[in-house]
A = this chain, B = another copy of it.
């Protein structure tokens, strides 16, 4: 048996296509498109790629997206000042500060910066008030990756109500909001992490298994109940030849790609899980494109919320 591959690229494109009429209506009404302001500090190669992809996708969807670049030497005050300019901007409805910030800014820098983003423009849903509203079931802006996973499940016809969902990883960005969104959709939810005893046995209970730990090929078939849906949120850049050789046989497509480029993008899920899972997201081409689609959807939602009065309070 070979798992059904869940095509995040296609679903992401479908979401973005559906946004167009609403983006056009907003633009016609307000005389300007919904606007996203991105703050990028430093020159991390991965961040450059992500930000480039976000800017391109926004433009393709008819949104305005502007990049504020700060040098890696920027102070915390300068980063916050950039956020506050976007808070005050009339043409920016949504703000994101690309993670990670340079380590020199300190471990608490991201939290301080996010706390300064205007709540209604916090398109990543990372501000504590947006996190609190998510917990309480009254949210507009929820973290993009977990809400993208929910969209993927829905659009792939995979039921959530009453299913046992196991989330491996408890980050603020993925694990915890993912667990809350699955809970609100009436899954029974288990959150696992590095302190979990007999993780494979716990994971094997899952009808829906979400791996979000950033450890390449960590989730092997021993973690998967036959027929389960496996969502691979991890994305690691792997340059370790021994690891790649142990996973991809000589002559395989991915091994060849490694030989050409010297590195591979790998998920948290071992490729052999394909033989036991019922459905599986590939890496790349699974969750990644959904995250960007949800960023654009959240940008539109933030813009609409600023200017369109809700029907009920």
Contacts and interface: CB of A to CB of B under 8 A. Distances in A.
Nearest to A108: B313
A136 B172 contact: yes
Given A129-B132, A130-B132, A192-B188, A138 B162 contact: no
A10 interface: no
Interface stretch (A38-46, A88-96, A194-202): A194-202
B132 A127 contact: yes
Nearest to A312: B108
Nearest to A202: B188
A220 interface: no
| Majority secondary structure of chain A interface residues (helix, strand, loop or mixed) | mixed
Interface residues of A, number: 35
Given A132-B132, A170-B183, 17 more contacts: A111-B136, A128-B135, A128-B138, A129-B132, A131-B131, A132-B133, A136-B172, A137-B172, A161-B195, A162-B197, A186-B195, A188-B190, A188-B191, A188-B196, A189-B190, A189-B191, A190-B191
Interface of A: 111, 127-138, 161-164, 170, 172, 176, 179-180, 183, 186-193, 195-197, 202
